[in-house]
Chain A
Amino acid sequence: MHMADALLSPAVGITMLAGTVAVGGYASKKLKENIDDRMIPLMGVLGAFIFAAQMINFTIPATGASGHLGGGMILAILLGPHAAFLVMASVLTVQALFFADGGLLALGCNIWNLAFYPGYLLYPLLYKPLAGGGDRPGRVLVASVISVVVALQLGAFSVVLQTYLSGKSELPLGAFLLFMQPIHLAIGLVEGFITAGIIGFIRSVRPDILACAATSRPLSGDFSLRKILITFAVLAVFTGAALSWFASTHPDGLEWAIARVTGRAELPEPVGGIGVVLKDIQEKTAFLPGYGFQSAPSEAIEAEAPPAWPAVEAGTSAAGVIGAAIVLGVVGLIGFCIRLVRKRVQGATP
């Protein structure tokens, strides 16, 4: 499922955008160095292919629900991680723009969730080792299913985390996870089978494509363990930073959530020294209300007891409601008038 802008806070949005842009820049650079000319039309057409394939629904067995393809893993197998990332990113961008499937600010999240995990994590770490040369259908099936399932689990978990850290939804962490993970397990199983099926089909009618795909990218040599560890480290820092922002501003909220999930009622220490530093910075930027970092502007004043969360400013006055009605009325009127004028103008000119 795709993140929507309405559920996102600027802090989370920007963090994920930064991560995605970093990976995208890396992928672009790598492609520029290594690119075979024919990759350009190939990437474009495969992007269109994924887009079109996603428009075809199928029924998920045993549930009767309809689902559609993700595609990150197939792209990774056919194109290698760098191109696959960019292609998937482009598909998500066009979907966000044309279908409003996922928000524009949330693109950073969605691209990370759906394009990063399959190509850069699961493909080198799970799929390639498990599938071996790819000539044994049984191995390919196992490799496909496992890597796709894990990729989707990571993606789903990320959505939950991003929503939770944005603080706009009240859904408790545990419940949300309980909702998202099993669904994506089912979807992942199906997509894993489909991926294996497609690869098998390609192998039978056009084996040259797979041979080309496997050898034209210096993947195994390139992707050292060190790079993987760095990626994990980066991931950890992002999540750690985000968690500590949250921990330092919504101590009650996090405590409550953790209590519900784990049964304990303790406030965890901020992550190492990062939490303290971040709290410091945050206090200095306290004049920016509501940018996802705080729930009440009065956090800056240490003397006051931190307000109970949620803040008391949830309510509003009659003036507010009246004002809103007036504003909406005026806006509507403006719109109506513009339309009238346009029609008049268009009617007048032949």
Chain B
Amino acid sequence: MTFDERYFNIGRLDRLSYGDSFIHRLDPRTKVIATILFLFTVVSFPKYEVVALAPFFLFPILLMTLGGISLRFIALKVLMVSPFAILIGIFNPLFDTQTVTIGFGTSISAGWISFAAILVKFTLTVSTALLLVATTSFPGVCQALRRLGCPAIFVTQLLFLYRYLFVLAEEAMRIVRARDLRCFGRQGRGVKIFARLVGTLLVRSLDRAERIYRAMLSRGFAGDIPRLGGFRLRSADLAFAAAMALFLVTFRFFPLTEEFGRFAQELWR
């Protein structure tokens, strides 16, 4: 991905997060906890379990549709970060050659099943994490973290980072464009020039930090970032949390997918 692409990517996700929908309006704490529990549950499935994961697609689908996030956007992002998981996972079929049956009289090596499991889990975890951000503004996530016990200094750090990453990314983009305009082919993309570019960016960043500090002092900053009151949990949040808990427990511990399949088979006969 080029610099420009990465930059506009974050921008898009950021803008989506300020949308307005039922999901957006839920308390960030609810969403953060729900997502963490979801991820944990998905990851806890044994390595050969693929079929039981199917119902879990409901969560990201719901977030996506109720939150008004485009499927294409999420799908593309998932695809973009899949190389590492695929790269590691592809060895499973190569090394795990025990054959197992998968119904309908066919059989494949166990390695393919565990590979499929990795891919499914990957899709579920990555899309859900992205949807968390897409439906909760980043400051909302930070507030949630703070109220869930994260040290204030780390939350402040996250907020400042977020605030200035767009500013600095734009500065970096300008520097990169200036470089790219003046390098023909490969020259100029080397390490030495990179070090100088980054050095320049660093000095500008430090100057900026100094100016921000001055502005903070000018408005009375004395060491602590002050805060106003926070969110309140509503009944929608409690309902969401309860539904989530029920869903996770049910589908983790009961092989319902198989039941549906058997039911369908009975109907067929």
Contacts and interface: CB of A to CB of B under 8 A. Distances in A.
B154 A105 contact: no
Given A98-B13, A171-B92, A315-B113, 18 more contacts: A7-B118, A44-B161, A98-B133, A99-B6, A104-B39, A167-B47, A171-B91, A201-B202, A310-B47, A310-B48, A310-B110, A316-B101, A316-B102, A316-B103, A320-B261, A321-B261, A326-B260, A342-B68
Contacts of B262: 319, 323
Interface in B61-117: 61-62, 64-66, 68, 77-78, 81, 84-85, 88-89, 91-92, 94-96, 98, 100-104, 107, 110-111, 113-114, 117
A113 interface: no
Chain A: number of interface residues, binned into ranges: 35 or more
Given A7-B85, A323-B264, A170 B44 contact: no
Interface of B: 2-3, 6-7, 9-10, 13-14, 35-36, 39-40, 42-51, 54-55, 57-58, 61-62, 64-66, 68, 77-78, 81, 84-85, 88-89, 91-92, 94-96, 98, 100-104, 107, 110-111, 113-114, 117-119, 121-122, 125-126, 129-130, 132-133, 138, 141, 151, 153-154, 156-165, 167-169, 171-172, 176, 186, 189-203, 205-206, 208-210, 212-213, 216-217, 221-223, 225, 255-262, 264-265
| B contacts with A: majority SS | helix
A315 B102 contact: yes
Contacts of A53: 172, 198, 201-202
B6 A55 contact: yes
B125 A105 contact: yes
B46 A290 contact: yes
7 contacts: A13-B40, A98-B10, A290-B45, A314-B48, A315-B100, A325-B261, A328-B54
Nearest to A197: B195
A338 interface: yes
A273 interface: no
A199 B94 CA distance: 46
A10 B223 CA distance: 38
A320 B116 CA distance: 14
Interface in A20-60: 24-25, 28, 31-32, 35, 37-38, 40-49, 51-53, 55-60
Given A105-B40, A169-B88, A170-B91, A327 B162 contact: no
B157 A45 contact: no
A330 to B, nearest CB: 8
A103 B6 contact: no
